[in-house]
Amino acid sequence: MIVGLIDSGLGMLPTSAWLRQLRPELDLILLMDPDNAPWGPKPDDWVIARVLDAADRAVSAGAEVVVLPCNTASVTALSHVRAHLGSGVPVIGTVPAVKPAAAVSDRIAVWATAATTASVYQARLIEQFAAGRTVSPIACHGLADSIDRGDAEAVSAAIRAAAAATPADVESVVLGCTHYPLVAAEIAAALPAGTRLFDSAEAVARQTLRRIDQLGRPASGSGAVTVSLSGRDGVLPASALAHHEGRLLAGVTAEQSIHQ
């Protein structure tokens, strides 16, 4: 069974790593788009066309399930991908974990990109699942881009700025960009002790596995991980190997990644 995952950059790594841990025999195709990242500021029609192209390439390569572990791709293109591929190919999108955070917290911050923070989509999500809660949207300027570049200094600066903008009394922080779980430990260290972090990577991976099981087809594979970089065959970028999730997918240790 081959699963195609589509994102402009490293935001796909947390969900991909969960799939690798939960069902290691699955073959994964990681379709990144470094030539055009980030997708957030791009026009909707451009994003839709780019995601549809990646979905077609995934299916042509044998993917029977497609995952969009990216908020921009999910908000903008999910319905289009589902209509384009038809009911025979399950397409799983990503939703920021506002609902589980609101189930246990009254004071919540949602960390996301500037585009997502300003979106009608996020406002509706908060209205739907966190009505009656105090919710603070926090735009994390440059954080996702810095993670993609592997710029640890810029990552730290962006986290400090977002933490400074976050009310001190928050109980939970929703990581509303799929890149952010890659630096969750640093985010947690910048927040008041006891602040809970919520992200959607595990939930998206488990939903993907449920949809795979519903297909009733053999789910076995070789556990291969194939990487596509803007349509070219490639390997995970060095910035991915700075994270446990990237090393897991690449099959290398932290020490090996230092020398690559």
70 noted as active-site residue? yes
Judged by phi (left if over 0) then psi (alpha if -120 to 50, else beta), residue 227 lies in beta
177 noted as active-site residue? yes
What tokens appear for 223 in the block?
A: 């556990």
Single out the catalytic residue among 12, 32, 70, 77. Answer: 70
What tokens appear for 208 in the block?
A: 């993907």
Whole-number Å distance between alpha carbons of 224 and 151: 28
Helices assigned H by DSSP within the chain? 13-22, 44-60, 71-85, 98-104, 114-117, 120-129, 143-149, 152-165, 184-190, 201-215, 244-250, 254-258
Q: Which residues contact 199 (CB under 8 A, 6 or more apart)?
A: 14, 97, 174, 175, 178, 180, 181, 184
Single out the catalytic residue among 177, 197, 201, 212. Answer: 177
- Report the run of H or E that residue 107 belongs to, with start and end: strand 107-112
The residues annotated with a catalytic role in the active site are 70, 177
